[in-house]
Amino acid sequence: MEFLIIVGFAAPALLIAAASFLLGRFRPQTDGRLLNSFLIAESIIYSGLAVWLVATDLPRYLVGNHYLFADTFGAYEILITSVLFLLSAVYSRGYLASLLDRGEIERSLLGLFYGSFALLPLVLVLGFLANNIALMWIFAELSTLLSVVLLVTLKARENITAALKYVFVTSTAMLFAFIGVIVLFALSRTAVPGGTLNWTDLMSAASAIPPKLYTFAFVLLFIGFAAKAAIVPFHTWLPTVYVRAPSVVAVISGAVLNLGLYAIIRLYAIGHRAGDDNFLNPLLISFGAISIFIAALALIARTNTKKVIAFSGVEQAGLILVAIGLGSPVALFWALFHKAGNALVKALLFFSAGIFHRQYNSNKFFAVKSPFRLQPLAAWGLILGSAAAIGTPTLPVFLAKFNILSIMASQALPLFIAVLAGFLLVAAGFGYYLVRAFSQPDDETIQPYPTPMTMKAPIILTLLALFALGLYLPGWLNSILSTIVSDLGL
């Protein structure tokens, strides 16, 4: 059964990627509808497997040598990734057709695009299933490679520049993480005969690892995975990439940021058991708080919708780091909840921004004319997505921010005041952007872009999911998050 889990995720992705590459090679004039149908089928399989994995008895090892295993934390991240994948696959049917019609992507590159798109969720799932930190490092780097391929398939020189910046920043940082892997393996020999890089073994033997030496390894690893998670000052690639990436790529690439945060949480759990919280907690809080403030200040001056979304992502990643650094099980619970809510918020914003770009052929706010007449669903998606991002009540980000801020107020009042000020600046940035975007003079001569239902349905579903999560925390989700906190020993 355990081996079938790996086959269930790997077989559809590999087969569909191979079929996409072959069709792109031998039928370069394909319109992409068949390839998109393959992708949707894969995303449905992934979603079904993710739901089954969350509902089954965990943890369980999946292959020999314990290199791959599924626990509740990994299964939860896979569920988030699979939902994003399903929404993006459906949305891409109409979105890619529009890119083709406008000549923004070569028809001959559709096979490469869909093949890479099919492989990216597989790489992310394997990253979340990796019990070995070196193996996770490999999957994280593969996710960079596939994201770059998806980015450069568009016909724009700026996309190549954005891809190079992405590779340079993240891969350079991941070199530090690679050194950290080597250091951590050397340290593990003091606690485990022969040494190990498996999460489960390191968690069991953490108390025998010298705390100060582990901190050295943690800092090196943190640099690499913080770059993946777009933590300041390693965030510089994110706004550039989000502006140039197709909306469907930006949504699924959000799971790449989740992989970086996932690794940091795992590493912190080991450090917590090793006994060096006095260094790790202030480190995470400092980087998190700085990320919130830099993002807040950057948001105010933005004129590009996708850059607004990008800096919002930096802020949300900073909030999660602060929550982890508080060292409170309750704060971690809400940080984990926030990962799901934030993923849906970013999906809603990118889907809405994608429709606006199809309508106005621009991401700039001053291009927006008569939005409620031309694209009412996307307009409300952008407004409600912005409201959700800043933490408006009845939406899930509010629950996370409110509870994390409550813990801050009880533990560190100056930190609470500083972070709250950052959130107010973020809200001001979103508000200023929306006021400018929706107060442009109307233009009755502009004709509406005929948005296909495949681009509207993901927005509607995401809105419903956001309101549901904002108003009610399901018992099964509460149980999953509580189990994760307990398993991490925090």
Q: Which two tokens stand for residue 424?
A: 């107010």
User: What's this model's pTM, rounded to 2 decimal places?
Assistant: 0.94
pLDDT at residue 273, rounded to an integer:
87
Burial letters for 59-97: b for 16+ Cβ neighbours within 10 Å, e otherwise? eebbeeeebbbbbbbbbbbbbbbbbbbbbbbbbbbbbbb
Q: Which amino acid is at 185?
A: F
Place of tokens 């019990």: 131
Lowest-pLDDT choice from 146-155, 223-232, 383-392: 146-155
Euclidean distance between the first and final Cα of the chain, in Å? 31
- Count of residues for the chain? 490
C-beta of residue 30 within 8 angstroms of C-beta of residue 23: yes
Q: Which amino acid would we find at residue 7?
A: V
Which has more confidence, 94 or 1? Answer: 94
Q: How many CA atoms lie within 13 A of 266 on its CB side?
A: 28
- Residues 460-477 have pLDDT tens digits of 999 999 999 999 999 999
| Mean pLDDT, rounded, of the chain | 90
Distance CA 257, CA 81 (A): 11
Reported as type and span, the H/E element at residue 108 is: none
pLDDT tens for each residue of 188-212? 888 888 888 999 889 988 888 888 8
Query: Would the pLDDT of 153 be above 70?
Result: yes
DSSP state of 245: S
Distance CA 290, CA 310 (A): 16
DSSP string, 304-368: BHHHHHHHHHHHHHHHHHHHHHTT-HHHHHHHHHHHHHHHHHHHHHHHHHHHHHHHHS--BGGG-
For 275, the 3-state DSSP assignment is coil
H/E stretch holding 196: none
pLDDT-derived band of residue 316, with 50, 70 and 90 as boundaries?
very high
When pLDDT is cut at 50, 70 and 90, the band that residue 155 belongs to is confident
Q: Please determine, for residue 226, whether its predicted confidence score (pLDDT) is greater than 80.
A: yes
Distance (Å, rounded) from C-alpha 129 to C-alpha 148? 23
Q: Report the range of poorest mean pLDDT among 85-89, 360-364, 424-428.
A: 360-364
CA distance linking residue 153 with residue 146, whole number of Å: 11
Collapse the DSSP code of 192 into the 3-class scheme (helix H, G, I; strand E, B; otherwise coil) and give the result: coil
264 has a pLDDT exceeding 70: yes
* pLDDT the model gives residue 14: 93
The values of phi and psi at residue 68, to 5°, are: -125, 135
Predicted confidence at residue 1, as pLDDT, reads: 63
Rounded average pLDDT over 283-312 = 92
Q: How many CA atoms lie within 13 A of 359 on its CB side?
A: 31
For residue 64 the two structure tokens come to 């020999």
Amino acid in position 322: V
**Residues 29, 34, 37, 38, CA torsion sign:** negative
